[in-house]
Structure 1
Amino acid sequence: MTPLSDRPAGPHALAPNLAAFGRLLRRTGLPVGPAETMAALDALTRIDIGDRRQFHAALRAVMLRRREHFEIFDQAFSLFWRDPEAGKHAAMMAMLEGQKAPPEKPPPAARRLAEAMQGGPKPPPRPPEDRPPEIDMTATVSAAERLQGMDFEAMSAADIANAKREIRKLVLPLDERRTRRFRPDPAGPVADLRATVRESLRTGGEILGLERRRRVTRPPPLVALCDISGSMARYAQVLIHFLHALSNDRERVATFLFGTRLSNVTRQLRHRDAEVAFEQVAKAVPDWSGGTRIGESLTRFNRDWSRRVLGQGAVVLLITDGLDRDGAEGLAAATERLANSCRRLIWLNPLLRYAAFEPKSQGIRAMLPHVDEFRPVHNLDSLRALVASLSSSQGRPI
């Protein structure tokens, strides 16, 4: 491909390459369609296309809408506009260097760009011409149905990947709560006298009709406290995908992870790109798969965060197996204060998957009297039951 300065002056000479660049961005997962490509073509008529910096700034301004997409775009621009056939060259170099030691794991954006430059995932192999024998599937269980009831701890890597895709389909319609605010509504049940008098000033003080209003309703805040200790690591790996989906689907969702210390990962999980979000969480949490200090973590949450995130009838999800390294020291008082600060405290415990479960641990016995619900969370069916429970109007008035 010729340098920018050696190309014909008109931007329409770049149209085929610009369309190919748009397809590359789509393969990396960016929301770039024909409208963005046409806008980019129009933007090139307003700049000096021989100036690479102007060329880059114009394309990024009209083809992207979110700041988190800048990194992928910049890498794709640098690679594509140097050589649009770079994907094929990269594949050939990878074959030649196959015997070398594997390099350090690239960031998610680089991995996605490399896959896109090589044309995306390979199509499935064509079936053989010989017709396979017919198998009677009567009275058998489908793979999807088997996945719903499979324990997260017993899942293979492929099963976990399928479970993560199913989790993203879950919708959480939390019950809406009335607030103290009102909004104008011509059919509202409450007369708004102040607005009526203000409106009468338009007609010289004569009241021609009553202004009305309605109370605003909105879902309550949702706060998740998730145990990431060694005994919960396998479950936390899947449940954090559930919390990431909630954080990107709803407003006012706060997420905290705890093992030997408490970490606020609300900002990290709000990133829409799941790979980037989990990479940021891994950097922010130093005690993954370590010990557990539930009492100390809940005490710190009550002291530092409860007044910030537990207002307006918040619902709290406490995700832990209740196995505390410090026994039950301070755990009962911390759980009681947490329960008194929220409208509804739901304890999700994977140990409830056992039919013969008994609360013998000191930590479980200390926490159990103060929770509103005690539910299992070990498979997709239990998550669906949780979603149904959160959609109900249960809870303690506070």
Structure 2
Amino acid sequence: MSALASNLLAFGRVLRRAGLPVGPAEALGAAEALSHIPLSDRAAFRAALRATMVHRRDHFEVFDSAFDLFWRDPDRPTRQAGPDDQPLAALPAAARRVSEAMPGARPPSTPAGEPERREDSALTVSDNERLNRLDFEAMTAEELAAARREIRRLVLPLAERPTRRFRPDSRGPRADLRATLRASMRLGGEIASISRRRRVTRPPPLVLLCDVSGSMARYAQILLHFMHAVANDRARVHSFVFGTRLTNISRALRNRDPEVAFQAVAHILPDWSGGTRIGEALERFNHLWARRVLGQGAVVLLITDGLDRGGAEGLSEAAERLSHSCRRLIWLNPLLRFAGFQPRAAGIRALLPHVHEHRQVHNLNSLRALVATLSADGPSYRRPA
């Protein structure tokens, strides 16, 4: 194997450990692209690797950090990644993830001859508690991987709702006259017992509407894992994402392999990390999808920060119609993590009067609180005034 091919494979492993979905196909594509450009042109070299190994705009920052660190010394591709004059904790999030993913990166060891220090961990926060409270935006690559594993373990058993159908039940609360008469025909018309039935209950449909615009891209990346986990855990889940337009990703998220599912989402999603038109997206959902997916007491999770690029035009009317079409409209807003949050943006003010709940979503604890709320059989929500 040539040195260039070996370095490409090593670079792909660095990107993969940093959280980018890079596999053999991307490495082969990069090798093919490099065969058509002069390798001495560093700008063309970077552009070729970015075009073949990166599929999302929000991954550009991680890729650029990895490229600058990995390819700065072609003779030593396994050198320590972190800058010598800057501690790892002081680096930006993208650079910190790349530094941890670089080959040869190891935690500092105890110098020879120095006695090992023992720390008293009493009254301190455990790693799990810290991970549960840590903001998704501040997580390192290793912490994001641990958060994704925790999200995959979440179960969302929505409280069951009665349907119009009935099933036979010997201890059911209702008498089944038709079944009773059919049974009596076998006995010559004599009624030996009264057949009974019970109303069928089942969890309501769940609709997920996630904002993937530029202001939400950091959170949308991890919340897509939550949407994937929910879609593979229960039936009747309908997933949509929106930026400047609405995209149905329900079929793509049904794949059990999250990487395959997200690759499919990347291919059908035209406006990741772009602008935001919440009003147009909700209006399109009401027009095309509401009657198909909002029956039988559906619950809608609207994941957005409420920052509408279009100045909230038509957003209030669309949100009002959506709230009237579902049983519960829950708004998950990462901006609520700030203690001094105020609804000053026009989009936030337009949405607030029409949602049943306004909850924060920025860490694992907020997702677990959401799961607990949806799993409980709460009161029947009335339409917002």
Fold in common (TM above 0.5):
yes
Match of 2:283? 299
* Distance (Å, rounded) in 1 between the aligned partners of 2:164 and 2:234: 21
CA shift, 1:96, in A, is 9.6
CA shift, 1:106, in A, is 2.6
Identify if the C-alpha distance between structure 1 residues 250 and 94 changes in structure 2 by more than 3 Å, giving closer, same or farther. farther
CA shift, 1:94, in A, is 8.4
- Of 349, 352, 364, 1:368 maps to 352
**Structure 1 residue 396 and structure 2 residue 376: aligned?**
no
**Structure 1 residue 98 and structure 2 residue 6: aligned?**
yes
Match of 1:378? 362
Identify if the C-alpha distance between structure 1 residues 100 and 375 changes in structure 2 by more than 3 Å, giving closer, same or farther. closer
| Aligned 1:66-145 pairs, distance under 5 A | 93=1, 97-99=5-7, 105-107=23-25, 133-145=117-129
Identify if the C-alpha distance between structure 1 residues 361 and 195 changes in structure 2 by more than 3 Å, giving closer, same or farther. same
**Deviation digits for residues 228-263 of structure 1 (CA, Å, limit 9, x no counterpart):** 001000100111111111101111000000001000
CA shift, 1:218, in A, is 0.5
Identify if the C-alpha distance between structure 1 residues 377 and 188 changes in structure 2 by more than 3 Å, giving closer, same or farther. same
* Distance (Å, rounded) in 2 between the aligned partners of 1:306 and 1:97: 51
User: Number of matched residues?
Assistant: 289
Match of 1:333? 317
Match of 1:184? 168
- Of 193, 207, 231, 2:191 maps to 207
* Distance (Å, rounded) in 2 between the aligned partners of 1:360 and 1:228: 21
Match of 1:320? 304
Match of 1:169? 153
Q: What runs of 5+ residues in structure 2 fail to find an aligned partner?
A: 13-21, 29-105
* Distance (Å, rounded) in 2 between the aligned partners of 1:100 and 1:214: 63
* Distance (Å, rounded) in 1 between the aligned partners of 2:256 and 2:222: 17
**Deviation digits for residues 22-78 of structure 1 (CA, Å, limit 9, x no counterpart):** xxxxxxxxxxxxxxxxxxxxxxxxxxxxxxxxxxxxxxxxxxxxxxxxxxxxxxxxx
Identity within the alignment, % = 64
Match of 2:134? 150
Identify if the C-alpha distance between structure 1 residues 228 and 176 changes in structure 2 by more than 3 Å, giving closer, same or farther. same
Q: TM-score, normalised by structure 1?
A: 0.69
**Deviation digits for residues 138-169 of structure 1 (CA, Å, limit 9, x no counterpart):** 22211111011111111111111111111111
Match of 1:9? none
* Distance (Å, rounded) in 2 between the aligned partners of 1:144 and 1:233: 25
* Distance (Å, rounded) in 2 between the aligned partners of 1:135 and 1:206: 82
CA shift, 1:107, in A, is 4.9
* Distance (Å, rounded) in 2 between the aligned partners of 1:100 and 1:147: 33
Q: What runs of 5+ residues in structure 1 fail to find an aligned partner?
A: 1-92, 111-124
Q: Secondary structure at the match of 1:311?
A: coil
* Distance (Å, rounded) in 2 between the aligned partners of 1:252 and 1:268: 14
CA shift, 1:395, in A, is 3.7
* Distance (Å, rounded) in 2 between the aligned partners of 1:283 and 1:96: 29
CA shift, 1:284, in A, is 1.0
**Deviation digits for residues 245-304 of structure 1 (CA, Å, limit 9, x no counterpart):** 110111100000000100000011011111111110111101000000000000000000
Larger Rg: 1
* Distance (Å, rounded) in 2 between the aligned partners of 1:357 and 1:266: 32
CA shift, 1:132, in A, is 5.1
Q: Secondary structure at the match of 2:210?
A: strand
